[in-house]
Chains A and B, each alone.
Chain A
């Protein structure tokens, strides 16, 4: 009946729903219910809410979310079931027998209206001063139900102080309606467990450990709670005012790098359906807003592949040939939410994290060194902005070690939502923009960098290069069309084995100073794994800790957010499995449309090793600018 994988979450809040039968033709497998006198047949265990959806009847919801377990606490979705004295929460009621349901009776309408009025009586703030104005689920319901007054009053002063201690997530609990989506996101979906309801009755509120500021607890800044908050109780720490100020300052040279995931999702903020890539429209819009240069983060994603791939080869060489004790599997470090998760929960594995910086931070370091020099600009006058799908990137760019250029490498991390607002504020309708190009000297990047946005993408990008480096063959000869399908899709944890065989290629020039030949990889089976969402990351890490199959892996890709960066905490709201799927499809389609699809073939990458990072990947300058170190944080915070 229930899934008890995770003992931290109350059983009741996990999935106390009836398991749906696999074979619907068995007796009782399908049940016919009557909704508003319309008959509809549904599989056993379908909730009333799902059944209504099938019947084409819309039911309002607030606490319900597709990604989360059932709560049944807001009560807005109540319906009447014949023979029952009380109304039933349709999101929480599994159908196990034929029943007659009515979704719009006087009792139901009165209850819904009362519930909305009650919520509004405690919800602080006016809509026009709220960043979720027009995108707030409570506001939408109030509109739908014709709220024109506050029969139970309306609070005129905030109940709680705004917690803006975190670089990433701001909590304004006076706007909280206690739907507990954030709690379920943090505990169940991400298994971080920073947020929980405390106290009872009218004093109930969502709290952190000992009510400490968010910056002082073990929040990983993933922002998944923001994506699921129906109101503005949770939001990202928005730097757009500072960015406008920099743009308006003639002495500042403001550059922006754009990551692939925001480009695949930002159209949603402009009324497009999910899955429309806006990369080139965005290039034009950003120039019109006033950014001096627009760069493609995929360039440093390509660079990450070279640096991180080289690091992996070096680790394997040390382990297999020199028999040194070296930390394996190597774990990716692109996702700052995941990195902080590891620092808190698995600090003993800190040496397994690739020392390669994330693409954002690599770019930051290069912009204020390589680029500034080339463009003849004093790096102190460069303001470097990063458009990211992510709230944790805001924390990442503020990490004290991220100043290897001598300045703060990346000044501001900006989310997709914030970018969309800036564009709208400038009076630009993004989908109508003519297409524009990225600026040199970094220019266009490869499709390998592009697919970083979806779970499995970093691994696929890495393998496209590793296969060609080591086997000396075209990746297309091994994987049709260079698409490494087993690494794609939304399965929580993926595991792939690639036997390298006996036939090795020549060592490419770029690596010649590091390894003499590939003979030592003969007969080796490369084992890799991919996990997305920290709950899945936890599964992999616990398995590694217990010496399970993942401890045999060579390389593991881990992303903090469900679906990878396309499902990031800075992405447009709402997020659902369906939306994430479409965003990923947009990214893979864009990759497929490019001719350049391998990181090592990116001419700008080749050029930067020739001109600037002349000691090659993992060389001295690389280490200074493109690699970093981590902090063993642990779980106990003073």
Chain B
């Protein structure tokens, strides 16, 4: 396992394996939850649901079986921070799961690992085996009578939609990866119909720190509404791509400077399903209340053709829609066709407006987050780069 030293005030701060588990079991479940609530931690996958609320509902549910699932499907284009956490800081993730097991009363934890990450399965399983040997997993963990918890790793098969928590659960149950209707939510009716919490890798890692250092300490970082820090997966036109831990509230321009980005034209915040931010808005902050992201930051410099960027995203969604609901399955095809029309110079503005209208419908009428967010790039790129796209190059843009 790599031992490269990473810098960061929260996630990459000092942590010893098992620390959070020890601390958690010395307290009551309520006290662990209290710290979590105090931290105001929000889900790091992108949706930003308050983690404490999720855990409290599962903790309060009366069921003999409950599950905690670590969402390690990391499928959003441009995200690779979970890979870093799993490879270099597995203790943070697994300890966070054990703390979760204790807090919500689950006996089983499942890591849903992205299909492409199969290469790390062996080392992660070895790590779990070592935890079992040290009684950080198994029965009566660290001598706490009756606290039994274990973790298994299950592989995804490469469908982007399985990062959506209910599709992930379907996949775990052996079914086709398709989002469920909500409500009921997984916290009531999750894996095998039992109360289940699904948390992102980074969320669980943050929980390990919060358990040790407290909610108040965590809250000192970030902004009022976006507490703590965030891992950003930075890629594209910059000198130093990679994973950075920065407090929420960092300006886009600050981040660009840090990573050595020059002549930047646009930043795609939040991956293919995120929004594309033009130069004029680089003073916006990375935060749930402003430019929200699950961590993906893609940088495009002046040499990039934004229509090509958009086409790439739309091709991705046409292929990755699970195909069950109408707006997402067919809507993305129509948006892609619209991009191709612009490419050929064979479009009318009336039809482009119709497609924007369609984008609005997809955002509100699609069944899950995939379809609801897939028009984001289409809408933001056409809006923010209309000069380049419609007026540049004699109407035959990108050719």
Query: Which of A's residues lie within 8 Å of B, judged by CB?
Result: 1-2, 4, 10-12, 16, 18, 70-76, 78, 85-87, 89, 92-94, 96, 107, 110-111, 114-115, 118-119, 121-122, 151-152, 177-178, 180, 196-197, 199-204
Q: Is B120 an interface residue (CB 8 A)?
A: no
Contact A115 B323 (CB under 8 A): no
Tell me the complex Cα distance, A151–B353, Å.
12
Q: What are the interface flags for B91-104 relative to A under an 8 Å C-beta threshold, 1 for contact and 0 otherwise?
A: 00000000000000
Is B320 engaged at the interface, CB distance under 8 Å to the other chain? Answer: yes
Nearest opposing residue in chain A for B191, CB measure:
A11
B323-337 Cβ-contact flags toward A at 8 Å (1 or 0): 111110111111000
Task: Give B159-170 as 1s and 0s: 1 = Cβ < 8 Å from A's Cβ atoms.
Answer: 101000010001
Point out the residues of chain A lying under 8 angstroms from B330, CB to CB.
Answer: 118-119, 121-122, 152, 202
- Residues of chain A with a CB closer than 8 A to B189's CB: 1-2, 11, 16
CB-based contact A201/B361 at 8 Å:
no
Asked if A94 and B183 make an inter-chain contact with CB atoms under 8 angstroms apart, the answer reads yes
Chain A, Cβ-Cβ closest to B359: A114
Give the docked Cα–Cα distance between A87 and B362 (Å): 10
Known: A10-B176, A86-B365, A197-B176. A74 touches B325 (CB 8 A): yes
Tell me how far the C-beta of B164 lies from the nearest C-beta in chain A, rounded to whole angstroms.
Answer: 12
* Smallest beta-carbon distance B82→chain A, Å: 23
Contact call B324/A86, Cβ cutoff below 8 A: no
Chain A residues contacting B199 (CB-CB under 8 Å) are none
Contacts of B173 in A (CB 8 A): 10-11
Q: How far is the CA of A204 from the CA of B324 in the complex (A)?
A: 8
On whether A110 and B357 interact (CB within 8 A), knowing A70-B181, A118-B326, A202-B321, the answer reads yes
Contact indicator B321/A200 (Cβ below 8 Å): yes
Q: How distant is the Cα of A197 from the Cα of B176 in the complex, in angstroms? A: 9
- Closest CB of chain B to A58's CB: distance in Å? 19
Given contacts A16-B189, A121-B334, A204-B324, contact A111 B318 (CB under 8 A): no
Q: Are A200 and B326 in contact (CB-based, < 8 A)?
A: no
The residues of A that contact B193 with a CB separation of less than 8 Å are: 1-2, 4, 11
B175 proximal to A (CB < 8 A): yes
Interface size class of B (residues with CB under 8 A): 35 or more
Flag whether B366 is at the interface (Cβ < 8 A).
Answer: yes
Residue ranges of B at the interface with A (Cβ–Cβ < 8 Å) = 159, 161, 166, 170, 173, 175-176, 178, 180-181, 183-184, 188-189, 192-193, 317-327, 329-334, 351, 354, 357-358, 360-361, 363-367, 372
Which residue of B has the minimal Cβ distance to A3? B193
Known interface pairs A16-B189, A74-B325; A151-B181 also in contact (CB < 8 Å):
no
User: Do A201 and B326 touch across chains, with their CB atoms under 8 A apart?
Assistant: no
The reply to whether A107 and B329 contact each other, CB–CB distance below 8 Å, is no
Given known A-B contacts A11-B173, A92-B181, A114-B358, A203 and B365 have beta carbons under 8 A apart: no
For B366, the chain A residues whose CB sits under 8 A away are 75, 86
- B325 close to A200 (CB less than 8 A): no
Chain A residue numbers with a CB within 8 Å of B357 are 110, 114
Q: How far is the CA of A74 from the CA of B329 in the complex (A)?
A: 10
| Contact among A73, A78, A96, A180 for B183, CB-based, below 8 A | A96
29 sample A-B contacts, Cβ–Cβ < 8 Å, listed by A number: A2-B189, A2-B193, A10-B170, A10-B175, A11-B192, A12-B181, A16-B181, A75-B365, A75-B367, A86-B363, A86-B364, A86-B365, A86-B366, A89-B181, A92-B181, A94-B184, A114-B358, A114-B361, A115-B327, A118-B326, A118-B327, A118-B330, A119-B330, A152-B334, A201-B320, A201-B332, A204-B322, A204-B323, A204-B329
Alpha-carbon separation in the docked complex, A281 to B363 (Å): 54
Known: A2-B193, A72-B367. A197 touches B324 (CB 8 A): yes
Q: Are A115 and B170 in contact (CB under 8 A)?
A: no
Q: How far is the CA of A201 from the CA of B193 in the complex (A)?
A: 27
Q: Indicate if the CB atoms of B176 and A202 lie closer than 8 Å.
A: no
How far does the Cβ of B191 sit from chain A's closest Cβ, in whole Å?
9
Most chain B CB within 10 A, of A94, A110, A201, is at A201
Closest to B177 in A: A200
Q: How far is the CA of A18 from the CA of B185 in the complex (A)?
A: 12
Chain A residues positioned under 8 Å from B159 (CB to CB): 200
CB-CB under 8 A for A12 and B327, given A73-B367, A111-B365, A200-B159: no
Once the chains are docked, how many angstroms separate the CA of A71 from the CA of B170? 14
Question: How many Å from the CB of A168 to the closest CB on chain B?
Answer: 27
Contact, CB under 8 Å: A200 / B181: no
B188 to chain A, nearest CB (A): 7
Known A12-B170, A18-B184, A92-B181; contact A85-B364, beta-carbon cutoff 8 A: yes
- The answer to whether A201 touches B329, judged by C-beta atoms less than 8 angstroms apart, is yes
CB distance from B256 to the nearest CB of A (A): 30
Q: Which residues of A contact B324 (CB under 8 A)?
A: 71, 73, 178, 180, 197, 204
Nearest residue (CB) in B for A199 is B323
Closest partner residue, chain A, to B159 (CB atom): A200
Give the chain B neighbours of A71 by CB distance below 8 A: 324
Q: In the complex, which residues of chain A have a beta carbon less than 8 angstroms from the beta carbon of B325?
A: 72-75
Tell me the bound Cα distance from A122 to B175 in angstroms: 26
Contact A16–B184 (Cβ < 8 Å): yes
* Residues A111 and B361 in contact in the complex (CB < 8 Å), given A16-B180, A199-B323, A200-B323: yes
Contact, CB under 8 Å: A115 / B322: no
A563 to chain B, nearest CB (A): 28
Beyond A10-B170, A72-B367, A201-B318, whether A119 also contacts B326 by CB under 8 A is: yes
Most buried by A among B330, B358, B360: B330
